[in-house]
């Protein structure tokens, strides 16, 4: 049986956490491919998620226990003596004497030098999980539950959902929260006069059945600093908002202003080699490069400013999708399939700029280059490097 996701298309998959656990890949039409347990009796582990399982595996089993019911996870934490748990701060915390000494240290670093009481281990685990959930914003993660000292709380109590914003505002409790909204972009438009973008997020349903409307004003200075344009705020992309919202409880309207990089983060998908890319499609492209053993990296904002600045006066620069290292000079690779018709001109400017750089080769990709087995990408790579040994690789991303 295969151990690798991509190999699994040719047969069964074994669980990454126990030697005999049988897994399979489910490929539904309305959501992404994912692992499922094929025969639970064959598993000696509690399989649920690679990233979460990896975190849990670093903690002792007599202190951290995980239970799974469908997609809902409950982390039961065992402590010695009376422990008071508070959940209304930026980080949840366990109130114990001298616990601050451990507050911002990882469990692995602390246990290398000393033994640690169970309560402190539990506190570190909660904070570790909180950071993981914050960085991987997952709708289902909001229902994860922690149990400790006969008290339990869900992640959504620390990280509110959109419908909680109205309640928090009414209680004057918004200031206690650091992260406010995870939303899905429904519409994006530009104010020609100000240069700001107005995002309308997918509306949420309140408890009484009425709709809650959320708008995000992305200020011009934020766009210039981050090198973003309308294309980056495409429909269905998720964003994470940290800026305190303005609330109109009567109209059930929420408005958020994004002025700096601390106010908002765009959703990124993580590839198999832990590159953070802009979409699920780009994740599959990155996985293809890794599978072929092609050296590559996803440039950061800083690299874009340093290497691909069009105008220092206007602070205009481009950040390419990938820089690939094969052949006599590096290849800039850009996926252009996200550009809708009204933004084709932006795409042309970007392609013309990258194509003009003499020190780089350039490849522009469309979705047709990926389906069904990356033949188009393979052809474009071999146009630059003729002697290139590439293995078959099937595309299973969005169609």
Query: pTM of whole model > 0.85?
Result: no
User: 322: left (phi > 0), else alpha (psi -120 to 50), else beta?
Assistant: beta
pLDDT value of residue 187? 92
pLDDT value of residue 375? 95
pLDDT value of residue 119? 67
Beta strand 181-190 with 197-201 is antiparallel
Find the angle CA(312)-CA(314)-CA(320) to the nearest 5 degrees.
Answer: 70
Find the angle CA(177)-CA(264)-CA(182) to the nearest 5 degrees.
Answer: 65
Q: Which of 164, 167, 158, 162 is nearest to 184 (CA)?
A: 162
Q: Reply yes or no: is the peptide bond before residue 52 cis, omega within 30 of 0.
A: no
pLDDT value of residue 155? 64
pLDDT value of residue 28? 56
pLDDT in tens, 324-351: 999 899 999 999 988 777 677 888 899 9
DSSP 75-89: EEE--SS--EEE-SS
CB contact at 8 A, 326 and 293:
no
pLDDT in tens, 100-145: 333 444 444 444 444 566 766 776 777 677 666 655 444 455 567 7
pLDDT value of residue 3? 43
- The CA radius of gyration of the chain, in Å to the nearest whole number, is 24
pLDDT value of residue 197? 96
pLDDT < 70: residue spans in the chain? 1-20, 25-54, 68-72, 79-117, 119-120, 123, 127, 130-143, 149-150, 154-161, 175-180, 312, 314, 342
Beta strands in 70-180 (DSSP E): 72-77, 84-86, 93-95, 145-148, 151-154
377 class by beta-carbon count within 10 Å (0-12 exposed, 13-18 middle, 19+ buried): buried
């Amino acid at each position: 049986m295969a151990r690798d996701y991509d190999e699994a298309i040719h047969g069964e998959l074994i669980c990454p956490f126990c030697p005999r656990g049988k897994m399979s890949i489910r490929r539904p039409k309305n959501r992404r491919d994912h692992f499922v347990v094929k025969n639970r009796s064959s598993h000696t582990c509690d399989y649920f998620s690679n990233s979460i399982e990896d975190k849990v595996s670093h903690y002792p089993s007599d202190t951290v226990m995980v239970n799974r019911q469908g997609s809902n996870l409950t982390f039961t934490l065992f402590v010695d003596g009376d422990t008071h748990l508070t959940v209304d701060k930026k980080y949840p915390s366990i109130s114990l004497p001298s616990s601050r000494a451990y507050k911002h240290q990882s469990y692995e670093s602390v246990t290398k030098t000393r033994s640690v009481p169970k309560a402190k281990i539990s506190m570190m685990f909660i904070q570790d999980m909180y950071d993981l959930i914050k960085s991987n914003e997952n709708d289902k993660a909001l229902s994860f539950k922690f149990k400790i000292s006969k008290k339990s709380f869900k992640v959504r109590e620390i990280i509110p959902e959109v419908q909680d914003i109205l309640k928090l505002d009414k209680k004057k409790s918004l200031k206690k929260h650091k992260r406010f909204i995870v939303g899905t972009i429904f519409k994006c438009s530009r104010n020609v006069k100000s240069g700001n973008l107005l995002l309308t997020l997918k509306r949420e349903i309140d408890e009484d059945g009425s709709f809650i409307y959320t708008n995000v004003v992305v200020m011009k200075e934020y766009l210039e600093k981050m090198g973003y344009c309308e294309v980056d705020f495409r429909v269905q992309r998720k964003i994470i908002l940290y800026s305190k919202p303005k609330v109109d409880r009567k109209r059930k309207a929420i408005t958020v202003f994004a002025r700096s990089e601390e106010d908002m983060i765009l959703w990124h998908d993580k590839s198999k080699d832990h590159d953070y890319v802009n979409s699920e499609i780009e994740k599959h492209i990155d996985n293809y490069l890794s599978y072929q053993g092609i050296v590559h990296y996803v440039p950061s904002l800083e690299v874009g400013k340093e290497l691909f600045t069009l105008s220092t006066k206007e602070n205009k620069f481009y950040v390419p999708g990938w820089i690939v290292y094969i052949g006599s000079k590096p290849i800039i690779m850009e996926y252009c399939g996200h550009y809708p018709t009204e933004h084709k001109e932006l795409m042309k400017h970007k392609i013309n700029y990258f194509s003009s750089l003499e020190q780089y080769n350039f490849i522009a990709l469309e979705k047709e280059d990926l389906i069904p087995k990356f033949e188009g990408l393979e052809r474009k790579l071999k146009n630059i490097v003729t002697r290139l040994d590439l293995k078959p690789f099937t595309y299973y991303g969005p169609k």
